[in-house]
Amino acid sequence: MNISSIPSSTSLPNVDVWQGIDWCPSDRQQVQLQALYTEVITANQQLNLTRITAPEEFWEKHLWDSVRGVGELISDSRALQVIDIGTGAGFPGLPLAIARADWQLTLVDSTNKKIGFIESIAPELDLPNIHPLVSRIEELGQQRQHRHQYDLALVRAVASANVCAEYALPLVKVGGTAILYRGNWTEEEASSLELAVAKLGGEIVKTDLFHTPLTNSIRHCIWLHKTTDTHPYYPRAIGIPTQKPL
């Protein structure tokens, strides 16, 4: 293990920094968030899960960002069925599973080692509400047990917005929501996404612009509403969405 790349302080910032969010961790949730951080930076030595390892940066870019992205849904009274597409080391899915023990979260990634990591830490974090799954999302979107099954689909840092929409919308129930976590966001991207989303049975209903609390970095979360069933043609076969984006 390369000890020098473990941060000297491994304590997350205190709970009072959860500003701008209608949620604050309980003592138990704070312990779970701390355990998540410790597990990620320890496993990072072998698995190269993330380049974000300093406690404050990890808290802001992985924990706060994951929770803030779902906006007011974090305090919604409903227990949602959620899918996190291209979850990597578990973001945004794991912080949300800690914040909402009543939500069921399917965490999908095509990489074995990342899903293996999530499986290995689930008992330690006491998270029976997560369901890690190795799969290409193009395959999952055509499977009956996943297609049109979710209230909420989340996609952070996976591909261009149009590709993320083709991954996400087939999995969402009519009346449900997909949220695309983006950094910068342009008019051109918005126009292009509008056309793509219409083909997938959805519409853009909100562009949530906000800044992160420590480094003032810009974020846009694009909210898509599922209006009608997605045509069976979508998602297209593995690799096609990225090769020929809608």
Helices (H) and strands (E) in the chain — how many of each?
9, 7
CB of 86 to ligand SAM, least distance (A): 3
- Told to check if 137 binds ligand SAM by CB under 6 A, we report yes
Site string for ligand SAM, 57-86 (x = CB under 6 A): -----------------------------x
- Told to check if 88 binds ligand SAM by CB under 6 A, we report yes
Residue closer to ligand SAM, measured from CB, 21 or 133: 133
- Told to check if 162 binds ligand SAM by CB under 6 A, we report no
Residue closer to ligand SAM, measured from CB, 4 or 221: 221
- Count of residues near ligand SAM by CB under 6 A: 15
Asked if omega into 13 is within 30° of 0 (cis), the reply is no
What is residue 85's three-state secondary structure? strand
Scored b (16 or more CB within 10 A) or e, 27-36 reads eebbebbbeb
- Told to check if 131 binds ligand SAM by CB under 6 A, we report no
- Told to check if 132 binds ligand SAM by CB under 6 A, we report no
Q: Amino acid letter at 162?
A: N
Question: What span, in angstroms and rounded, lies between the C-alpha atoms of 204 and 164?
Answer: 13
The neighbouring-strand residues paired with 178 are 153, 224
CB of 94 to ligand SAM, least distance (A): 10
Question: What span, in angstroms and rounded, lies between the C-alpha atoms of 17 and 95?
Answer: 15
CB of 179 to ligand SAM, least distance (A): 12
